[in-house]
Each structure stands twice: as structure tokens, then as C-alpha cells.
Chains A and B, each alone.
Chain A
Amino acid sequence: MLRTEEFTLNMGPQHPATHGVLRLILHLDGETIVKVEPVVGYLHRGIEKLAEARTYTQVIPYTDRLDYLAAMLNNLGYVQAVEKLMGIEIPERAEYIRIIVSEMSRIASHCIAVGTYALDLGGFTGFMYPFREREKLMDMFEMISGSRMTHSYMRIGGVAADLPEEFYPAIKKFLKEFPSCVDEYDGLITGNEIFQARTKGVGVLSQEKAVQYSISGPTLRGSGVNYDLRKARPYGIYDRFDFEVPVGEKGDCFDRYYCRIQEMRQSHRIIEQALEQLEELPGGPVMAKVPKVLKPPKGEVYHEIEGAKGILGYYVVSDGTTKPYRVHIRRPSFINLDLLDEMCRGWKIADVVAILGSIDIVLGEVDC
């Protein structure tokens, strides 16, 4: 008697294509996905709990360790939330520096996203090229903050230090080269026939589903929803720059990937404008006058920024002491992962890697 049954396969927690310690329990019917159960928490460090025993400033280094591929953006969300709570105005110069470094961070994160995505789908050359540019960005971050990945550069009230002299020629050289580098990614990855065959029409996420499930970032915009907080609810000084929000049409893996490529070009535009306007500013302080011991007034604040992976929100509750009463972090990767199951159903086992890669998760952020 011939008998068939559902087959269960464990993917991860140690697996190169899960981008970290993510475990996926795949329920298979032959090669077809019946159900995917993501199991998260292998990297849970309890950052929200740890924050309750630290002062407001001491929380900043923990935020670096959430989305460690775009640490500046994580710093930015937290410090802006505390500034909103305390009503601190920061110097103009610091605002510009923040924009420049956070857009650099976004490019660095998207470099990883498109690079590893090419690798996931078997294109090793496509993996190396974005890493070349990421390396240049890391060098510049090292000039600015002394650290390549976990910068902790931002402070409540501004940034730790002004940009060093040697940064300006480096970023100008980078800005000059970068558009042709993105053209190279387009040639190597976007235009690749195998890459297109693996991604076009795969893992389609409809506009309605994406909004219902609180999906954000390039994953949401790939489905054709024009929702970017830098435009929809500008924070900092984003309203001073001219840039576009790239959106996809079909909501497949290719659209999500291509949104990131286009976003890199837009970030490049923002950095160019910000650098130009920064150089016209007279020199001055990069820190507002804030007390050494921070005691925000009693109350709470929720602040959201557009992170590299999606909407990054910080909910900070103050009880009037030097330590936050509660810090909650809305991590985009965590929420975006929720819909993986539905996006994978009906596709073949090899497509799971393609779909997961197109969501672009980072486990430091998922597990918090």
C-alpha cells in the first residue's frame, strides 16, 4: 500500500540562509510548503528589561545591538524619543549630521540586504560588490565614532562629536562613485535572468494584506503602498530635502528587492543635499545644553522613525527618576516576519529562502 504523509523539516537555527539564529519549521507536502512556523527568541537578551536598570544615556549602546546593520538609525529613534519627552531642541548642525549618518546607515543596511539576497539565490559575485561599498561606509563610521558597527554616536541632545576633517573628502569621493556602483548592482543582480526567474511573481503580498498585518518598510512599499515616515510624518529635518519614495507594483520578491535598490539612490540624494547645506552652516555646537543627569518629566512618549527595515518605534515611560520606567521597542523585522507563513504557502522549498531574504530581517532586532 502506498501511503503519503506530511513531512516536517527544521530549517535553522543554524542555517546560512536564515540570516542569523532563526528556526523555521517547514511542513512539506513533497517539495511544496504547507505551513511555515517561525520560531524566534534564540537571541533574546531582554534589552527592554535591561533598559529599566540603566540611566537614559546608558540605554543608547543597547539600541545599537538591535539592528546592528543600521545602528545609527536605532540610536536616532531612541534619542529622538527621549528628546521629545524632555522637549529638547537640538542644534541645527547636529540635525544635519544625524541625517547624513542615518542615511549612510540605511545604504549600509540595504547593501547587506541586496548582497546577501544575491548570495541566497546563488549569485556570489552579486554578494561581493555591495560589500565593497559597505566597507567604505564602515571606514567612514570608524572615522566619525571610532567604531565600525555599534557606533553609539548619538546623544540625547545632539551627537557625540562633530564630523572629523578627514570625513569630508571620504564622503565626497563615495558620493561621486556610488551611483555607478548601484548601476553595477543593477547589472549584476537586477538584470540577471536567473535572479529574475527566482524572484518575479514569487511570494506575492497584496496591498490590503500588507496594511492589515502592520508590515512596514520596503516590504510594505514593494506591495505598492506609499508609506514612508520620512514623507508621511517627517521627523528631524527630513522635510527640507527633495527625494522620492520608491514603490513597487506587484508586491513580489523582486519588487521588494528593487525598492531597496532605488532607496539607496534616494538616500544618496539626501546625503548630497544634507552635506551641501551643512557646509553652508557656520561651525557651532553639536550638543544642546542638557543637564549631566537626565531626569525627564513624568509621562510617556511614542516616537517612530523610518528604519532601514521598516517602522522603528520607541515607547518610553518616565516616572521622573534618572532611569526609564519602561522602554518598548517596535521592531520592524519582528512584525514583518509574522506574515512569512502566508507568503510561503504553496511555494516550493527553495522559494522559502527567496521569500525570507526579500523581507530582509535581522535577528538582533527580531529577538530584541
Chain B
Amino acid sequence: MESNKVAEQLQEYFQSIGNNRKVLTVSPDELIPLMYRLRDEYEFNYLTDETAVDYGDYFEVIYNLSRVPQGDILMVKTKVDKEKAEVPSVFEVWPGAIWFEREIFDLLGIKFTNHPDLRRILLDDSFEGHPLRKDFQWVGGREV
């Protein structure tokens, strides 16, 4: 599996790199250098998806990278502190991340440092809170 190979080869360069069920894991500090390496050396030239999940006491930001046109896919994850929800933006590696990250910021409230245009995108500017956080209180609808 691709993630095994990458994790093994890059172990000496990135201390936090790990491989957990076919997913590459890395700490936020080492994220950007790893992403540059994956793009330039491993030819993952296409950011196919970026999203995040609220796990209660921490967030997980998930990147799905692809090789175009071969079609291989690799999942990279990074864990983010809930108290200080900040991740470096990958827009310099793949400019397509700009809207992905705006959406995550809007719905989950994770701040992307260095992001060129970090504003709400789907919700109104005056909206308070981030609805996809598990502790978000909402009126109406069904109880989760």
C-alpha cells in the first residue's frame, strides 16, 4: 500500500509521520514540508478533497491527494488541538485548497494560518458559532 511505503521512506525526515490503517498521519508542524514532498517527489499533484471532523476533544483535518491522470489516492490526516484550533494552510502547495479551507473555517471554526482569504463562505457573516462542531446548540431539528 502506498501509505506504508511513503511512511517508511520518509520516517527519517519527519518524526511525527505514522501510518494507521492505510492513512498517513502527521503533526501540524510538519504538515507543509511533508505536503511539498508528496507533491514534488511522489507526484501527488491534485488535492481532491480536504475536510475536518470534530472528535470531541480534538479535530482531525483530512487531506485526500491524487495523482492526475493516473488516479492513485492517498489520505493524510493531522490532529488539531481543540483549544488552539490552528493548522497551516496548504494553499501554497495546492491553490485549490482556498475554498476547501474557507468551508472548514466556516463550519468547524478551524483557523488556517497564512490563508489569503479566510472568511465565512456558506453562512452569513453575522452568524455566530460553527454548526458542524459537536457542541453547537441549534434550535429546531432533531436531537442528535
How far apart sit A328 and B49, CA to CA, in the bound complex (Å)?
A: 10
Q: Does B98 contact A (CB under 8 A)?
A: yes
| 17 A-B pairs (CB sep. < 8 Å) | A40-B122, A44-B122, A44-B123, A46-B131, A52-B144, A53-B144, A211-B68, A213-B94, A214-B97, A231-B71, A232-B69, A313-B49, A313-B64, A315-B64, A328-B53, A330-B48, A338-B96
Q: Does A227 contact B (CB under 8 A)?
A: yes
Q: In the complex, which residues 225-264 of chain A have their Cβ closer than 8 Å to any Cβ of chain B?
A: 225-227, 229, 231-233
Q: Are A215 and B96 in contact (CB-based, < 8 A)?
A: yes
Known: A46-B131, A214-B94. A367 touches B122 (CB 8 A): yes
Q: Assign chain A's interface to a size class.
A: 35 or more
How far apart sit A228 and B21, CA to CA, in the bound complex (Å)?
A: 27
10 shortest interchain CB distances as A-B pairs: A232-B71, A214-B96, A41-B122, A233-B71, A328-B51, A213-B96, A330-B49, A53-B142, A338-B99, A227-B69
* A338: contacting residue among B68, B98, B131, B142, CB under 8 A: B98
* B48: contacting residue among A41, A46, A311, A334, CB under 8 A: A311
Q: How many chain B residues have a CB neighbour from A under 8 Å? A: 39
In angstroms, how far is the closest chain B Cβ from the Cβ of A2? 34
Q: How many A-B residue pairs have CB under 8 A?
A: 96
In angstroms, how far is the closest chain A Cβ from the Cβ of B69? 4
Known: A325-B53, A367-B122. A225 touches B69 (CB 8 A): yes
Q: Does B46 contact A (CB under 8 A)?
A: yes
How far apart sit A338 and B95, CA to CA, in the bound complex (Å)?
A: 10
How far apart sit A97 and B112, CA to CA, in the bound complex (Å)?
A: 43
Known: A214-B94, A313-B49, A335-B99. A299 touches B21 (CB 8 A): yes
In angstroms, how far is the closest chain A Cβ from the Cβ of B117? 10
Residues of B within 8 Å of A326, CB to CB, are: 53-54, 132
Q: In the complex, which residues 304-349 of chain A have their Cβ closer than 8 Å to any Cβ of chain B?
A: 304, 311, 313, 315, 317, 323, 325-326, 328, 330, 334-335, 337-338
Q: Are A232 and B94 in contact (CB-based, < 8 A)?
A: no
In angstroms, how far is the closest chain B Cβ from the Cβ of A62? 13
Q: Does A49 contact B (CB under 8 A)?
A: yes
Residues of A within 8 Å of B48, CB to CB, are: 214, 216, 304, 311, 313, 330
Apart from A232-B69, A323-B144: 5 A-B pairs, beta carbons within 8 A: A212-B95, A299-B21, A302-B62, A317-B53, A335-B96
- Residue in B49, B121, B142, B143 with the greatest tally of chain A CB atoms within 10 Å: B49
Q: Does A48 contact B (CB under 8 A)?
A: yes
* B73: contacting residue among A214, A233, A335, CB under 8 A: A233
The interface bits of chain A over 95-112 (1 if a CB of B lies within 8 angstroms of the residue's CB, else 0) are 000000000000000000
In angstroms, how far is the closest chain B Cβ from the Cβ of A214? 3
Q: Which residues of A contact B (CB under 8 A)?
A: 40-41, 44, 46, 48-50, 52-54, 211-216, 225-227, 229, 231-233, 299-300, 302, 304, 311, 313, 315, 317, 323, 325-326, 328, 330, 334-335, 337-338, 367-368
How far apart sit A52 and B143, CA to CA, in the bound complex (Å)?
A: 10
> DSSP majority for the B interface?
loop
Q: Are B123 and A53 in contact (CB-based, < 8 A)?
A: no
Q: Does B116 contact A (CB under 8 A)?
A: no
Chain B, Cβ-Cβ closest to A45: B122
How far apart sit A213 and B48, CA to CA, in the bound complex (Å)?
A: 9
Residues of B within 8 Å of A315, CB to CB, are: 49, 51, 62, 64
Q: Are B70 and A232 in contact (CB-based, < 8 A)?
A: yes
Known: A335-B99, A368-B122. A302 touches B49 (CB 8 A): yes
How far apart sit A48 and B53, CA to CA, in the bound complex (Å)?
A: 11
Residues of B within 8 Å of A335, CB to CB, are: 96, 99-100
Q: Are A214 and B46 in contact (CB-based, < 8 A)?
A: yes
How far apart sit A214 and B44, CA to CA, in the bound complex (Å)?
A: 12
Chain A, Cβ-Cβ closest to B72: A233
Q: Are A226 and B69 in contact (CB-based, < 8 A)?
A: yes
In angstroms, how far is the closest chain B Cβ from the Cβ of A220? 8
Q: Are B98 and A48 in contact (CB-based, < 8 A)?
A: no
Q: Are A48 and B73 in contact (CB-based, < 8 A)?
A: no
How far apart sit A317 and B49, CA to CA, in the bound complex (Å)?
A: 15
Q: Does B107 contact A (CB under 8 A)?
A: yes
